Amino acid sequence: MKHCWFIISAFLFISCATSGGFYSTVDGNISDGKYEEALKTVRENRSWYGDKSSVLFNFDMGLLYHYAGEHDSSLAYFFAAEKEIDDLYTKSISQEVLSFMINDNILPYEGEDFEKVLVNIFLALNYAEEGMIEDALVEARKVDLKLREYAHQYDDKNKYQEDAFIRYIAGVLYETGGEINDAFISYKKSFEAYKTYENEYGTKAPSFLLDDLVRTGMLMEFTDEVEQYRGMGGRWEAHEGLTEGNILVIVYTGKGPAKQEIKKTVTIPDTSGVLHTFQIALPEFQPRYQKPRSYDVHIVAADDSITAATTCAENITAIAQRVLEDRLGLIYLKSGGRAVLKFLAAEKIKGEMKKDDKNKVKNFLGSLAVDLVVGATEQADTRSWRTLPSEIQLVKLSLKPGDYLLNVKASDAGYSLREVSMKVQRGKTSFVIVDDVR
């Protein structure tokens, strides 16, 4: 049958959309903190990613090395991911056209907008943990540039236009580097961004952000703004921090969301007004972090001890869901248009079958095969960055210069960080990153 090319080629594309079952092993390794084993599993399954999902391979390797504290390797993979994303910016027209006939799985995966932003956030945190302030700030500024570009693409109608978390981290970095005015501006932008975060993702500004605004505002003699933030709850005692140093504890908690396919029914009229009903496949982010938890950070010195609880500063699951919702209209349009094209192509093939062969049984089986192919090729692109945490939690502690022991315990008693020795320096912030991605 001369139309077999349609069936054969379609099934070839379908075979490219299978999911990576090895992720269950990787998830287990991450939960247990066995990052070397997780890295080994990802490497051994490099062929699964193929050429179409090599960005995801670099995402996974970069983040697993980040969890493991191997910053140089993490940087290398994240920079490789960023370069490939830049290269994919100019897309192949032929592939785009083909994706209208088959599905988006045939396109190279370039990441969701929030995933591209997280690359630079993790790069910044790699540098921050190493004390490389200027390099960390370069990555923080890239986040701002990317989000501006994405907002432009959505005509400013998307919600994820600011990242409050990285704005806060930038403020900490500026202050550590002695750039107090820039620190105050970053803290202020972070505080404003958290208003959107609270409305869209249920994430409030950390209480200590107001203290940071009061402290840096005092240093810059911004009297009116200092009084404003004091009125909101910023502590006047924050000025004591001028002779102290800080420890900023960053906790990755829970498993990030994973995409799954959902089917929607749409009805579209043809040119003669006859209604045709189709099923389209859409991606949807499903949460995998079911039991929220916080962490007690306990710090001990020779003559003092402090305990403070973390607070959520970046709800990655909520951001992921919102970002996908923002582009759902475009996905609907493309999926609906693809459904129409497939329907028209299938009807044309069926009509030609009837002309070529009068055998009713053969025609029936051929038509059935065409319908099966059309249905099977309608698949949502469910690729996503599966090794992400669900949340990033924070706590900031101001301490007198000196040596301390730090311990972190989860509220559900399922995680405890071994004691870590810390040195606090006047006017500086030390970053501590803790992984509890289970």
How far is Cα 280 from Cα 209, in angstroms, rounded to an integer?
Answer: 45
DSSP H helices in 133-207: 133-153, 164-176, 180-201
User: Residues 114-145: pLDDT tens digits?
Assistant: 999 999 999 999 999 999 999 999 999 999 99
pLDDT at 335: 59
Give residue 233's region: left, alpha or beta (phi > 0; psi -120 to 50): left
pLDDT at 263: 83
pLDDT at 326: 85
Q: 352 is written with which tokens?
A: 């030609």
Q: 161 is written with which tokens?
A: 């236009």
b/e per residue 78-109 (b: at least 16 CB within 10 A): bebbbebbeeeeeeeeeeeeebebbbbbbbbb
Tokens 């192919």 correspond to: 373
Give residue 278's region: left, alpha or beta (phi > 0; psi -120 to 50): beta
Output phi, psi for 93, to 5 deg.
Answer: -60, -40
pLDDT at 418: 83
Q: 223 is written with which tokens?
A: 């009297």
Distances (CA, A) of 10 to 101, 352, 369: 9, 19, 11
Q: Are 305 and 298 in contact (CB under 8 A)?
A: yes
Q: 164 is written with which tokens?
A: 């409050």
How far is Cα 245 from Cα 424, in angstroms, rounded to an integer?
Answer: 6
How far is Cα 289 from Cα 387, in angstroms, rounded to an integer?
Answer: 13
pLDDT at 21: 86
* Most confident option among 79-88, 103-112, 183-192: 183-192
pLDDT at 274: 63
User: Residues 315-363: pLDDT tens digits?
Assistant: 999 999 999 988 876 666 565 555 655 555 555 554 565 555 555 544 4
pLDDT at 5: 45
User: Residues 33-82: pLDDT tens digits?
Assistant: 999 999 999 999 999 999 899 999 999 999 999 999 999 999 999 999 99
pLDDT at 239: 58
pLDDT, averaged across the chain: 84
Complete DSSP assignment for 112-140: -HHHHHHHHHHHHHHHHHTT-HHHHHHHH
CB under 8 Å to 244, separation ≥6 — which residues?
Answer: 398, 399, 400, 401, 424, 426
Q: Are 10 and 376 in contact (CB under 8 A)?
A: yes
Q: 119 is written with which tokens?
A: 């690359």
pLDDT at 161: 95
User: Residues 165-223: pLDDT tens digits?
Assistant: 999 999 999 999 999 999 999 999 999 999 999 999 999 999 999 999 999 999 999 99
